[in-house]
Amino acid sequence: MSFYILDSRNNGYPCIYELQDIPDTDMKIPYPHGVFMCMGEYNDGYPFIPEIIGVGLQTDSSLYFGEDNVSELYFNGEYIMSAYCNEQEVFSVKYTAV
């Protein structure tokens, strides 16, 4: 049997049990270079390309892996923008002018 209807999957339409739901087509961070983005605090809210106007991805981290400062953090394959330990922010990713 190939198809199953499960309320929590595929918006209720028949799905293939072995496959995860189809991802949407929105890009996931971190994005590729040269892609326009809209972030209200930059370029008066108009689309911009981060590399052109000198906006970079700055990572603040007090997390270490061995002796290396952690610059990217993933959980279950998802890129993480911030992490907390004992209610303290120990890792964060921000767009700032660099």
Partner 1 sequence: MNGAGTAENPYIIMNSDDLYSMTETGGDSICFSLGADIDLGFTEYAEKFQPIPLKCLKFSGNGYMIRNVNLNLPDGSANVFTIVNDTENSTVTIDNLILENIRLIGENVFVFASGDNKKYNVSLEYCSFSLNEVVYTSDAKNTEGIRNCLFHDTNIAMDTDYCTFSAQVDFTKTHPLFSGDIIRHTQIKSEMTTADFLSIDDRYNAPLSCVTISDSYMFWSIKRRGTGSTVSFAMSSVDCNFSRFYMVCEVISGISTVYWKGHIGTPYFYDSQVLKKHISTIKINAGSAATSSDVKNILGLTTEQCKDAEYLRSVGFECLGAEV
Q: Looking at 30, 45, 47, 56, which residue binds partner 1 (CB under 8 A)? A: 30
Q: Looking at 18, 44, 67, 87, which residue binds partner 1 (CB under 8 A)? A: 18
d(C-alpha 73, C-alpha 26), whole Å: 20
Tokens 């929105």: give the residue.
26
User: Is residue 66 within the footprint of partner 1 (CB under 8 A)?
Assistant: no
CA 76 from centroid of its chain's CA atoms: 12
User: Is residue 49 within the footprint of partner 1 (CB under 8 A)?
Assistant: no
User: Is residue 22 within the footprint of partner 1 (CB under 8 A)?
Assistant: yes
Per CB under 8 A, residues contacting partner 1 are 1-7, 10, 12-16, 18-20, 22-28, 30-35, 74, 77
